[in-house]
Structure 1
Amino acid sequence: MRVVVVSESFLPTTNGVTTSVRKVLDHLALRGHEAMVIAPAAGAPRDYAGFRVHEVPAVAYRQFPVGLPSPQVTKLIADFAPDVIHAASPFLLGAQAIDAGRRLGIPAVAIFQTDVAGYARRNRLGAATKFAWRVVRWVHEGAALTLAPSTASLADLEAAGVERLGRWGRGVDLATYHPRNRVDPAVVRLRQRLAPGGETIVGYVGRIAPEKQVERFDALRGMPGVRLAIVGDGPSLPSVRKALRGMPVSYLGALSGRDLAVAYASFDVFAHTGAEETFGQTVQEAHASGLPVISPRAGGPIDLIDHGVDGYLFDPRFDAQLRAYVEGLVLDEPLRLRMGEAGRRAVVGRSWESVCDELIGHYESVLAPVGV
């Protein structure tokens, strides 16, 4: 199979979209398929996983390159002659690719991954929320299939009038993120640095941006025996530092690979704060690491957390619930361990290999003759 992957984000930018695209490309190479990547100009490598990467014109917005429509996109697709177009989190660039595919007779599978309308809602833009969903519908209407990562996202897309929907989740690296990392000497050293008095470590991993609402951790202020560890970087870091001033917080910066696995393994509890996640990849990574997870009852984490079994879902309107759930886990180590074990069991069937095989099945479904 020949696949053109058109992504609104790619290396060197690191985020959930880039990660999932890389995993898809790795898997296509593993299964012997051919692929090509089209992404916004940002200094990407010329090749990835043996596939050529083509950059197209882009402008910077909030530290991210935004791909612009260009005649180059249609020509690249036509010259490669793919069987299917994979549009990752499509916006301007993805919309052009989907339209080009429609005119060339090439079906597109669109991956819904960014809550564009959530941005308008969070910033109280009123009528702009409806407009944002109209844009989402316009972008996706030409796709043969739109895949959403969660039941909440599917419901939102259905309500917006997007048709031809399916569900596709995300995989997790079960080898890198593993409970056995707890005994790694690097983890032991990090725990001694983060909690020199043997305190319980509550950790967060993710971009530090307005939609992540990391300032919520102020709800834990004054809780005895607790230290916070925040992994990530982004435009809201000054705001978060100000909101959490005077609290026992360690800022570890953006981490990846083994360093990120070490950070997860140093935590006792993982807490996610944003209520606009279309999926919640860090929830899966924390579960794979054997941690209980606390998250707002909203978006993707609703599908990933079994409330009371492997973590807790709190009402995002009441940060006091976040505090209560953290406090309960801080005071009950056996409960933390049971929930952590349950979280690991919950993700053992979600390897990237199995999830990407499922994606190839979705590709094949849009290639099947009508009526088959």
Structure 2
Amino acid sequence: MRVAVVSESFLPTVNGVTTSVRQVLDHLQRGGHEAIVIVPSTGAPTSYAGFPVFGVPTIAYRQFPVGLPSPQVQRLIADFAPDVIHAASPFLLGAQAIAAGGRLGIPSVAIFQTDVAGYARRNHLGAATGFAWRVVRWIHEGADLTLVPSSASMADLEKAGITGLARWGRGVDLVTYHPRNRATPATKALREQIAPRGETVVGYVGRIAPEKQVERLAALRGVGGICIAIVGDGPSVPYVRKQLAGMPVSWLGKLSGPDLATAYGSFDMFLHTGTEETFGQTIQEAQATGIPVIAPRAGGPIDLVDHGRNGFLYEPGNDSQLRASVQALAADGALMSRMGEAGRRAVLPRDWESLCDELLGHYAHAVAGRAVPARRSVIANRR
């Protein structure tokens, strides 16, 4: 299969969209498929997994490169003549790729990864919320298929009147993130640094940005016998540092690969704070490591955390529930162990190989909905 992957985010930016796209490209390479990658140009590599990477003009927004509309996008797609377009978290760049596919007769699969409703609520957009959803409908109605990662996202999109929806979650690296990491020398050394008196370690991993609401960790102020470890970076670091001033917090910065796996291994529990996650990849990574998760009962975490079995869900904004959940786990080591083991079991079927095989099935479904001879004829005429 020939796939044009168009992503609003790619290396060197590391986030959930980039991780997902890289896993898809690695899977396509292992399966002998052909692909091109179209991304914002700032710092992007020229190739990945043996596939050419093409950068388009970019502007910066909140430390993120944003790809701008460019006639180069349609030319690249027409010249490559893919069987399908994969639009990852489509916005300006992805919308142009989907529209180009429509003109060229090429089916497109859009991956929904932005909680528009949550963003609108947090920023008190009021009447602008309706406009935001009209933009989302305009983008996704052009796609042959929109894949959504959670039941909450599915409900939001159905409510907005968007059709052609199917569920597709995210895989997790079950080898890199593993309970055995908790016993490595590197993990033991990090724990001694974070919790020198044997405190219970409450960990967070993710971007430090307004939508992540990391400042909610302040609800743990005064809880005895715990310390906090924060992995990540972003524009809200100064604000969050101020809100957590005087608390036992270790700021570990942005980590990846084995260093990130070691950080997860040093945690006793994982605390997710944001209410706008369409999925929650870091939750799966924590579960794969064998640690219980505490998260708000909102968005993606609802599907990932089985309340009372592999962690706790607290009502969004309810700091007393958040605090009580942490205290309950910190006071019961056996409960932490049972919940951690249950979390690991829950993610075992979600390896990236299985999820990417499922994605190929979605590609085939989108392709089957188009007349291939007619599509090839349109592409030939456009050249």
Is the structural similarity TM-score above 0.5?
yes
Q: SS state of the match for residue 208, structure 2? A: coil
Q: SS state of the match for residue 349, structure 1? A: helix
Q: SS state of the match for residue 36, structure 2? A: strand
Q: SS state of the match for residue 114, structure 1? A: coil
Contact 1:307 1:313 in 2 (8 A): yes
- Give the superposition deviation at 1:129: 1.3
Contact 1:171 1:352 in 2 (8 A): yes
Contact 2:107 2:370 in 1 (8 A): no
Q: SS state of the match for residue 350, structure 2? A: coil
CA distance in 2, matches of 1:118, 1:3: 31
CA distance in 2, matches of 1:370, 1:10: 29
Deviations 1:119-142 (A, max 9, x none): 222111111111111110011111
Q: TM-score, normalised by structure 1?
A: 0.99
Structure 2: 5+ residue stretches without partners: 372-383
Structure 2 counterpart of 1:102, one-letter code: G
Structure 1: 5+ residue stretches without partners: none
Matches within 5 A, 1:303-314: 303-314=303-314
Structure 2 counterpart of 1:95, one-letter code: A
Matches within 5 A, 1:15-30: 15-30=15-30
2:374 match: none
Structure 1 counterpart of 2:182, one-letter code: R
- Give the superposition deviation at 1:367: 1.3
1:109 match: 109
Deviations 1:171-210 (A, max 9, x none): 0000000001111000000000100000000000000000
- Give the superposition deviation at 1:369: 4.8
2:354 match: 354
1:189 match: 189
CA distance in 2, matches of 1:124, 1:366: 37
CA distance in 1, matches of 2:136, 2:252: 35
Q: Tell me how many residue pairs correspond in the alignment.
A: 371
Deviations 1:274-298 (A, max 9, x none): 0000000000000000000000000
CA distance in 2, matches of 1:202, 1:96: 42
Matches within 5 A, 1:115-126: 115-126=115-126
Matches within 5 A, 1:52-91: 52-91=52-91
Root-mean-square deviation over aligned CA pairs: 1.0
Contact 2:117 2:156 in 1 (8 A): no
Contact 2:214 2:273 in 1 (8 A): yes
Q: SS state of the match for residue 198, structure 1? A: coil
1:51 match: 51
CA distance in 2, matches of 1:14, 1:357: 23
Counterpart check, 1:341 vs 2:341: yes
2:35 match: 35
Q: TM-score, normalised by structure 2?
A: 0.96
Q: SS state of the match for residue 294, structure 1? A: strand
Structure 1 counterpart of 2:341, one-letter code: E
Contact 1:6 1:38 in 2 (8 A): yes
Structure having greater relative contact order (Cα 8 Å, sep ≥ 6): 2
Deviations 1:338-370 (A, max 9, x none): 000000000001000000000000000111257
- Give the superposition deviation at 1:268: 0.2
Deviations 1:23-67 (A, max 9, x none): 000000011110000001111111000000000011110001111
Deviations 1:52-103 (A, max 9, x none): 0000011110001111111000000000000000000000110010000001
Contact 1:118 1:129 in 2 (8 A): no
Deviations 1:285-320 (A, max 9, x none): 000000000000000000001100000000012111
Which runs of structure 1 show a deviation greater than 3 angstroms over 4 or more consecutive aligned residues?
none
1:296 match: 296
- Give the superposition deviation at 1:116: 3.3
Q: SS state of the match for residue 59, structure 1? A: strand
1:269 match: 269
Identity %: 73
